[in-house]
Structure 1
Amino acid sequence: MIDQFKEWMLDIQNIALDAKRDAALAEGDESLWKRQIWRSPDKNSAIKARFRDEGEKLGYRSRPSYKTGAGEWLYDFVWRKFDDEGHLQEVVLAMEIEMSDTKMSWIMKDFTKLLQSDAPYKIFIFQLKTETDVSEAMEHFKQTAHRYKSKLPAEVLLCGWSTSLNRFLLTDFKLGSGALT
């Protein structure tokens, strides 16, 4: 499933970059596309919409849901599984998105919140300027996760948007019984 999540994130990225290029071409200057900003609210909306639609195909109910008007529930985005009687069975995916703040202390608050979820899939999306900044943050998140005494196995996807590269950097790892595998 993590590989599918990566594909969706790259699709979201490519759609946004194509829209930026098209806008620059419409203004008559293709070089403008690199200076156009993919705004954080737009990133958040695109990510949540794609995962909401894909989750629905898999039989999950998403929060927030733009279809039902339901807001966030515990995390920035979740897939929930219910039984035939409407009882919550599990949270399958928990996602935290921190695109508006670039201070590691604030980003870490969202990441450590995500570690506490018992969802088997966890996605953390954040934004920093350079490829080095993103890579260093990812290493820090992995080390933090390694120290956390996870009670259940989980697969974690880290998605770091580099504003200087205009793209996501992706990495994943597994958690289980407090050990990074």
Structure 2
Amino acid sequence: MLKLEDHYKDYREKLNLAMAPERAAEIEKLALALQDAWINKKYVYFCGNGGSAGNAIHLANDFNYGIDKGGGIGLRVEALPANSAVITCIGNDEGYENIFSQQINVKANEGDVLVILSGSGNSPNVVKALEAGNKIGMNTFAILGFSGGKCKSIAKNPIHFPIDDMQIAEDLQLIVGHICMQWLYANGRG
């Protein structure tokens, strides 16, 4: 039986290795894009499936409220998996692969920001969301694990952690989001 202490050490080491210094430049691009969206009152959309959907909702909260608690003026942000009525309607009528791209096509404008959260980067619905976002002229990002999948080559700005562990990949989505959130909180709208 694996002792928890050994598992903890292994998990911490994997997480530490994944946080390679070269990711900092990729994360900075996202932070600057979020700051620009904040300054110019553009919208930011997050999406993902499963745990990544939960992370999208979590980060939307952080960027809406957490970055400017004093003034109450956060980013215009939305988590696309948050509305179950919309998700089930589009999934039922248009197919699950369209649950995010349909929303992007209706809501987004050129210059808005799209952030995909995905472990594998291969789920058809996030791939189609990136394609729709690129077509509109959005600033597209994807925070990815494993090989990065299809999203790695479709996103204008991939943030890829080559880690073959879904839980750590999902942890890294929140870590990236929280790094950006704290940076924006400290620096404001510039």
Do both share a fold (TM > 0.5)? no
Q: TM-score, normalised by structure 1?
A: 0.38
What is the TM-score of this pair, normalised by structure 2? 0.37
Q: Which has the higher contact order (CA 8 A, sep 6+)?
A: 2
- The structure with the largest helix share of the pair is 2
